[in-house]
A = this chain, B = another copy of it.
Amino acid sequence: MPVPRRRPGVRRGEDVRRLRDLLRAALLAHRFPEGALPSETDLMSAYGATRAAVREALAMLRSEGLIERLPGVGTHVMADPPRTEMDEALGVTRGPMYAVTTPPRVLDRSTVPAPVTLAEALGVEPGTPVLRLEYVAMTEGLPSAVATNYVVHPEAQRLLATSFHGHWYQLMADAGVVLGESEFVIDCVPADAGTAELLGLAAGAPLLAVEQTITDPGGRVIDVAFLRIRPDRFRFVCRATASGLL
């Protein structure tokens, strides 16, 4: 029985997308020794792909900032985003993130009246003064995320009186602000022009977007934050078994 014919363009698009996915996973998992990708010819044979498909897949990875291609030199991995465990990202476990030594670039540290929807999220009356603490998180000297935190009083005063020289959770700990529950809602957004400039990206580049809510140990909301994260500098890892999250 003849195989049903398909539009060649569709078929080729699928091949490119699948090849891109496999190469993307492989390079992020350090499966190419010394971050050097095989030649186009070797990739064609290893992945059963045409030269055109290999080139298109590599072009996609290049546009994501994951690889660089230099004539005569080859194709090299340019990004190595650490995998951050979710419990560490949420701030309940100390991990490698605490090793951050580059101080954040603080953009704003001002007191603003909470608009009604933010007030609802923070559990305060509309118009209540809250601290807006906004910064660019730096990883090894490079901007990795923009975070806008809205913090209620009295925790806000304690944060203001404390030197912010490392990670956000370090600031909280240094200020004696104890975290009760931490929640992430994770999605993604296109970078607006301002965020793109702060993070050294082109406008429209995809960013991980996190809405974080932190309570004190009594369940009172003390911080609502909006994070915009470069995916080539940060990835979240989460795992579970039938017994629950690990």
Contacts and interface: CB of A to CB of B under 8 A. Distances in A.
A184 B239 contact: yes
A60 B117 CA distance: 18
Interface in A173-194: 179-190, 192-194
Contact of A205 (B92, B108, B180, B190): B190
A107 interface: yes
Which label, helix, strand, loop or mixed, suits the secondary structure of the A interface?
mixed
A124 to B, nearest CB: 14
Contacts of A246: 181, 245
Contact of A10 (B63, B92, B194, B206): B194
A221 interface: no
Interface in A119-165: 120-121, 132, 134, 148
Interface of A: 10, 13-14, 16-18, 20-26, 28-29, 31-32, 46-48, 60, 63-64, 81, 83, 86-87, 90-93, 107-108, 112-113, 115-118, 120-121, 132, 134, 148, 179-190, 192-195, 204-209, 211, 224, 226, 231, 235-246
| Total identical chains | 2
A236 B185 contact: yes
Given A17-B195, A64-B189, A231-B188, A183 B238 contact: yes
